[in-house]
Amino acid sequence: MSNDFEDADFPLPVALLMQDRWDDAYSYLLNETKLTLAGRLLAMPDDVPFDPTTAARAVLQKAILSLIESLAGHGERESGLLSLAWRMLTVDPQKPDTFVAVMPPLAFMAKHYFTEVTDTKLLAEIEATKLREQIDARLRVWWRAADGKYKDSHVSMFRIAAVDTRPSAIGIDDPDVATDSPQQPEVKGPSVVVMKKPGAVTKGLPNDWKDMIGQAIQLVVCADAAAVRRDLYAEYPHATQAIDLLTRDMRDGQPVRLRPALLVGPPGSGKSRLVRRLGEILGLYTYRYDAAVVADNMFGGLSKGWGSAHPSVPARAVQTSMQANPIVMVDEVEKAADSTHNGNLWHSMVPFLERETSARYRDGGIDAELDLSHVNHVATANAVDRLPSPLRDRYRMIRVPSPTLAHLPALAVQVMRDLARDDDARAHDDPLAEDELDIIGRAWARERFSMRKLQRLVAATLDARDACAPRH
Amino acid sequence: MHSVKQLKSDFESHLRGEGPSAVELAPAPLLDEWNVVVSDYCGDYQLYLSGNVSGHPSVEDGHCSTSAVVWLDSKERWARTTSRVYRLGKRAETAE
């Protein structure tokens, strides 16, 4: 199929995406390279074989790498494009790192170097649109590989992309998020209708739930992802990697959408507070569900047959906040194992973590179908070995380490800021002196660097300082 | 944030094998101990870097993440993002 596109009006590396096999990509590129070099009266290096199957892999790889170098050094646009295209032949899905230099320029060109077809013939326009979609689909497969999703694969990137974008393999596209809603003009910005139709039984449904029928509910947008990260780094200097992972999919100006994340770390490392702070900074409501404490399993909702109706936790989070994408945080999710009810908690969480099922969740509590697919799910755990794998597989696992003594000065500043916020009398305290930090540090080490304990230690130190200070 | 036009012209110069000019590179912030992050927003992918920054005009020294990378120098000495050029220090030992 690749031949149809050779004359297409976009750069060589982008065109190369449409090659179905590595060998095809190789011969196509070899030919292009020869033509380009001949036009400039340059010779093709003779260590690049005509038929790649005749050369040993290591020899071939070396020849390609030196070709990439020499092409990049020609100082011309055409050879730069060739160099980049050859680099695409060196990627290895088993080694995501080999994609790092390739993806940024490739994606940039796919986005900005596609000439809009102004052909008057409708047919040509349709073809071009189709081609564009195919290129974007293949590019997404390349990105997934760069993200390490094909580490177990044994075929070339070209093969993977060709197979994964066959019409049958392309999944259902994300349903579009309504950017405006004709019935509810008062909601500004992106929004989504969570309850499209009334349930079978609307009688007896509390009014605040009835109001949700057909109502567009706001999606909270992240204005500046880098600024959000910056705020969190300052407060959690020991967890910068965790913050990066937790916030990595956020986009400026887009609704906040986190992949389900499971924060794993020792008690006191500040996992729950980190999630709550993320919510606060984003203006996103955080609904906390404590798996260790709540014995009755109402996460998935409870039908009215049992006295009072209980909508599911994600539905309640949406209804309470009137945000379509609040954070639902299940704290200490592994503790659920201690209670017999709670095999059920894990079970009832799974449908919410899948886009397909959460987009049409039949909520027993209000007897209606809800679109809860925009709700953000975060769980915390001290350990994960007891979690069943169906649940574990649906989360991105993020380790939150304990802070160390090295983080004490930065953390102490934050704790003092918190204390000052709660208590005006603390607003003008002098910063902690070195000897005070020293004492706190030793006591803190005995408490295994718990963030909670640190707060108490700092408060106690300030109290002691007050007691010793000469009275005015 | 640079205009797309400016970005395209920088991109073109990198295609020709040119790095950022000394005038642009010398005062550029330094990113040390950096990692590569692939970010996926509903199928809209980007690659950015995170690491220890110093000398950034609007970000305090310390851990920072960049905007989307447009070009990464093949010898990993610099990177151009949609907003600026970074000089690159050592890459972090462990990826993610």
Model confidence pTM above 0.90: no
| Mean pLDDT, range B79-83, rounded to an integer | 95
Supply angle C-alpha A34, A15, A113, rounded to 5: 110
What are the residue ranges spanned by the domains of chain B?
4-88
Residue A80 near residue B16 (C-beta atoms within 8 A): yes
Q: Are strands B69-72 and A286-290 parallel, antiparallel or unpaired?
A: unpaired
B11 touches chain A (CB under 8 A): yes
Question: Which residue does chain B place closest to A138, by CA atoms?
Answer: B43
Q: Which pLDDT score is estimated for A48?
A: 79
What are the residue ranges spanned by the domains of chain A?
2-164, 207-399, 405-468
**Read out DSSP for A244-280?**
HHHHTT--TTEE--PPPEEEE--TTS-HHHHHHHHHH
Q: Which residues contact A242 (CB under 8 A, 6 or more apart)?
A: A236, A263, A265, A274, A398, A399, A400, A401
pLDDT along chain A (472 residues), means of 10: 47 92 92 85 75 81 91 90 95 94 95 66 73 91 94 91 74 41 54 79 70 88 91 90 92 92 91 92 92 73 66 91 94 73 73 90 84 95 86 91 90 86 81 90 90 88 82 54
Best mutation target among A14, A78, A98, A147 (most B Cβ atoms within 10 Å) is A147
Q: What's the N-to-C CA distance of chain A in angstroms? A: 87
A22 touches chain B (CB under 8 A): no
Q: What's the N-to-C CA distance of chain B in angstroms? A: 28
pLDDT tens, residue by residue, A237-296: 999 999 999 999 898 889 999 999 999 999 888 899 899 999 999 999 999 998 877 655
Measured over the CA atoms of residue B14, residue B18, residue B23 and residue B27, the dihedral's sign is: positive
Do residue B47 and residue A233 have CB atoms under 8 angstroms apart? no
Kindly list the residues from chain A whose CB atom is less than 8 angstroms away from the CB atom of residue B38.
96, 103, 143, 146-147, 248
Distance from B26 to chain A by nearest Cα, in Å? 22
DSSP letter (8 states) at residue B3: -
Do residue A244 and residue B68 have CB atoms under 8 angstroms apart? no
Q: Which pLDDT score is estimated for A181?
A: 38
Do residue B37 and residue A248 have CB atoms under 8 angstroms apart? yes
B65 touches chain A (CB under 8 A): yes
A73 touches chain B (CB under 8 A): yes
**Rg of chain A in Å (alpha carbons):** 28
In single-letter form, the type of residue at position A95 comes to: K
Supply angle C-alpha A136, A138, A144, rounded to 5: 105
Backbone angles phi, psi at A137, to 5 degrees: -65, -45
Residue A278 near residue A327 (C-beta atoms within 8 A): yes
pLDDT tens, residue by residue, A16-39: 999 999 999 999 999 889 888 887
The domain A207-399 having CATH identifier 3.90.79.10: the answer here is no
